[in-house]
Amino acid sequence: MIPANHCLKTQHVPGSDQPKGPAWLIDVKEGCLFQGNHQHRYIALSYTWHDSANGIDRVNQLKLLTSNMSSMLAPNVLKRNTSQLPAVIQHAIELTGNIGERYLWVGRLCIVQDGPQNQFECMRMDEIYSGAYVTIVAAAEGGLFRNYGKSSKRSVNKTSHKY
In a domain, 27, yes or no: yes
Assess if residue 160 is contained within a domain: no
Q: Are 104 and 28 contacting, i.e. CB atoms less than 8 angstroms apart?
A: yes
150 in a structural domain: no
Q: Is residue 152 part of a domain?
A: no
Phi then psi for 82, rounded to 5 degrees? -60, -30
Q: Are 136 and 45 in contact (CB under 8 A)?
A: yes
> For the chain, how many structural domains are there in total?
1
- Cα–Cα distances in Å, from 141 out to 26, 50, 53, 129? 21, 7, 7, 20
Examine residue 11 and state whether it is found in any structural domain, yes or no.
Answer: no
Give domain status of residue 8, yes or no.
no
> What string of pLDDT tens digits covers the 163 residues of the chain?
444 443 444 444 444 455 578 999 999 999 999 998 778 999 999 988 765 555 555 566 899 999 999 999 999 999 999 988 988 999 999 999 999 999 999 999 999 989 788 788 888 889 999 999 999 998 766 666 555 555 555 565 656 666 6
Identify whether 159 is part of a domain: no
Q: Containing domain of residue 52, as a range?
A: 19-138
End-to-end CA distance of the chain: 37
Q: CA-CA distance, 94 to 138, in Å (whole number)? A: 14
pLDDT score for 20: 74
The reply to whether the predicted model has a pTM over 0.75 is: no
- The total of other beta-carbon atoms located within 10 Å of residue 54's CB is 18
Q: How many CA atoms lie within 13 A of 10 on its CB side?
A: 9
Residue type, 80: R
Q: Is 133 a member of any domain?
A: yes
Task: Give me the sheet containing 32-35, strands edge to edge.
Answer: 32-35, 24-27, 103-106, 43-47, 134-138
Let me know: does 118 contact 112? Beta carbons within 8 Å: yes
Nearest to 63 by CA among 96, 106, 34: 106
